[in-house]
Amino acid sequence: MPKGSDVNASDIGLLTDPRGPIVIGHRGASRNFPENTLLSFQKAVDAGVHALEFDVQSSRDGVPVVIHDPTIDRTTNGSGLVTGITRRDLQRWDAGHGERIPTLADVLDAFPDVPMLLDVKTSRASKAVIDVLVDHGAKSQVIVGSFEPGALRPFREAAVPTTASRRETTVWWAASRIGASPPIRAFSAFSIPERSGRIRVADRRFLRRAAHRGIPVHVWTIDDVETAARLWSWGVSGIVTNQPAELVGALARTEQERYE
């Protein structure tokens, strides 16, 4: 199993390999460093993650920027809607430890060989994100997900790998109750929570059905080592976590015990 710091272009398939197991840094190493910043991403890569996960939306002037919330209030010392601020003005504000809100291009430039899960927050950003991916030759470096209906369609039309939409996931989960699966799919992976309300989404039946069809399942956001180990033992391909160093260490110990 390669470490994140050793990831290269040949390892991009880690995100689409159903076997796993891998560790994915949620907004980088966001438990200990400012989320969705180059510093947080670098710390996650240094810790040995196999991939990065982060959020993308569009600035006022249409530049894809890496930030989760619709406003900059929580994660910077500034205030206002992301969509109401230009890229240049967004980068005036401190996102913690002197970091700035990076653009998607900044992240691709800094980590050209690291697999990435992109959570595109709005369909407004889709075309601009595709343009940046094309400019960087990064269409095969990423898997794109979104909770917004319609946001994934442009990526699929542009042959950019995507995760299953919420509706597609629901259909597949329901089908797994009877040991079935829809015959056609347009996605490369599932990206799901362990639970949604009282429902366990990442349960054994769903995971067996995904494995039967060769579809990787990445579960977010898991910071507990024991929970991660259980999910990996059930067949989860990847764990998305805020504290990647701990889970990378736990995975390494598990792999070592397996071969002793």
Summarize pLDDT for 162-175 with one digit per residue, the tens: 999 999 999 999 99
Amino acid at 179: G
The set of residues, in sequence order, having a beta carbon less than 8 Å from that of 88 and lying 6+ positions away, is none
Residue among 206, 223, 222, 238 at smallest CA distance from 14: 238
pLDDT band at 120 (very low <50, low <70, confident <90, very high): very high
Tens-digit pLDDT profile for residues 7-44: 443 445 889 999 889 999 999 999 999 999 999 999 99
Q: Residue range 211-238: average pLDDT?
A: 96
Tens-digit pLDDT profile for residues 147-164: 998 999 999 999 999 999
Count of residues making up the chain: 260
Q: In this model, does residue 96 exceed pLDDT 90?
A: yes
Q: In this model, does residue 3 exceed pLDDT 70?
A: no
CA atoms within 13 A on the CB side of 217: 28
pTM of the full structure: 0.93
DSSP 19: S
What is the pLDDT at residue 253?
85
For residue 213, is it left (φ>0), alpha (ψ between -120 and 50) or beta? Answer: alpha
DSSP H stretches of helix in 140-243: 153-157, 166-176, 204-212, 225-234
DSSP H stretches of helix in the chain: 38-47, 87-90, 104-110, 126-135, 153-157, 166-176, 204-212, 225-234, 244-259
**Angle 166-176/204-212 helices, nearest 10 degrees?**
100
